Homo-oligomer: A and B are copies of this chain.
């Protein structure tokens, strides 16, 4: 630390990096808020051509393409990693920690799959690692879970944590358009990357589910352990039928404790219309938390984008600066002191929405109901849509059932000669509370 200032190295000057540059250089009263001025000493970019896209007026004198310059400066107190991806971000972060520097990152993939290694290294060196921006963009959620809600035994965290898919599903709901059409609009509006596969496949949400579950349940896990389905199979028909029976379809990251196991998954989910997550539309994110004392709380806001993400990153920088100024780095470290086994998806209990196409003739329903019944799958409701030609579309809602039983029963049902095909199966949200 040089003089009164806390110095940072910014790794990455893309969308979020530019936002962080803007927030820090334009901020007033930082010293009054955290007890020290904050200066950016280095901005690491991969290639000088990146400067062509600079729209925030980066100080060219601070820009470098040499990681040794950005990481090797002993005057730097905090390394802010905004490169994304695993390599070289992980190496840079571990090097910074080894040198006794503090770290702020927005990197969800990295924290989901290498969080344990990073946090262990930080604890050994007594430095801070903060990652509020890795989940929910500008929404404060990691700090509230670790601090304000720390007195609770958390029982469930359930959230809309991917803005792209939420925008796409909202558009499909509001405009009755196809996924492709909605995705085209999302790209035009900047809500979607050029390659949206990490969003549509649920992989992005799974990384966030991993981080949320780790913190909420004080348990280390990796995103490979999260059962993940994307939104590719959701159709405008499913959305319309869901609405008829009082539900909206959202891509949900769910983590809950069930008899001592963790049930952590990401998939499209039927959300009752009166649920607080139901009206969360467009590119917004929202995270719903249930705890034994607090009951239900929800956090809502912009889950991505330059400035909201920069808000969380710089909030973390201030937090680390306070720890440095007050001589208490490491004050809020890793809180994963428990172990839970992850419940396999086959053993998870849910209610299910099932859409299938069957022959339109008497006795069909009885045969299907019988096949379900033999596998302990109890039906809550059945809707037969108007038939076209010889086929009828059937919508079933089951009571809560073990996923393996549901799958077994569907195996039998789909073999019935009256069944053309099982079109889609979507899990229903767990009951509140």
**Chain A contacts to B: CB under 8 angstroms:** 19, 23-24, 27-29, 32-34, 132, 138-140, 143-144, 147-153, 218, 276, 279, 291-302, 305, 307-308, 310-319, 322-323, 326-328, 330-332, 335, 337-338
- Tell me which residues across on chain B come within 8 A of A292, comparing CB atoms: 307
Is the beta-carbon distance between B319 and A323 smaller than 8 angstroms?
no
Is the beta-carbon distance between B314 and A151 smaller than 8 angstroms?
yes
Q: Which of B23, B322, B327, B330 contacts A151, CB < 8 Å?
A: B23
Tell me, in angstroms, the Cα distance from A7 to B421 when the chains sit together.
65
Is the beta-carbon distance between B148 and A132 smaller than 8 angstroms?
yes
- Tell me which residues across on chain B come within 8 A of A23, comparing CB atoms: 151, 293
- Tell me which residues across on chain B come within 8 A of A319, comparing CB atoms: 147-148, 150
Q: Which of B148, B298, B300, B307 contacts A143, CB < 8 Å?
A: B148
Enumerate 21 A-B pairs (CB-CB under 8 Å) in ascending A order. Answer: A27-B151, A29-B218, A29-B337, A138-B295, A138-B297, A139-B297, A140-B144, A140-B148, A143-B148, A147-B318, A148-B315, A150-B314, A151-B317, A151-B318, A276-B279, A279-B279, A294-B312, A296-B301, A298-B298, A328-B328, A331-B331
Beyond A23-B293, A322-B331, list 18 extra A-B contacts (CB 8 Å). A19-B293, A27-B151, A29-B337, A32-B335, A139-B297, A140-B147, A140-B148, A150-B315, A150-B318, A151-B318, A293-B307, A294-B312, A295-B305, A295-B307, A295-B308, A323-B328, A323-B331, A326-B331
Q: Which of B24, B132, B293, B317 contacts A138, CB < 8 Å?
A: B293
Closest to A32 in B: B337
- Tell me which residues across on chain B come within 8 A of A323, comparing CB atoms: 328, 331
Is the beta-carbon distance between A335 and B33 smaller than 8 angstroms?
yes
- Tell me which residues across on chain B come within 8 A of A322, comparing CB atoms: 331-332
Is the beta-carbon distance between B293 and A308 smaller than 8 angstroms?
yes
Closest to A137 in B: B294
Closest to A333 in B: B35
Tell me, in angstroms, the Cα distance from A305 to B279 when the chains sit together.
26
- Tell me which residues across on chain B come within 8 A of A276, comparing CB atoms: 279, 300
- Tell me which residues across on chain B come within 8 A of A138, comparing CB atoms: 293-295, 297
Tell me, in angstroms, the Cα distance from A29 to B314 when the chains sit together.
31
- Tell me which residues across on chain B come within 8 A of A311, comparing CB atoms: 148-149, 151-152, 291, 293-294
- Tell me which residues across on chain B come within 8 A of A308, comparing CB atoms: 293-295
The 3 closest A-B pairs by CB, nearest first: A151-B314, A140-B148, A297-B301
Closest to A138 in B: B294
Q: Which of B132, B279, B298, B302 contacts A301, CB < 8 Å?
A: B298
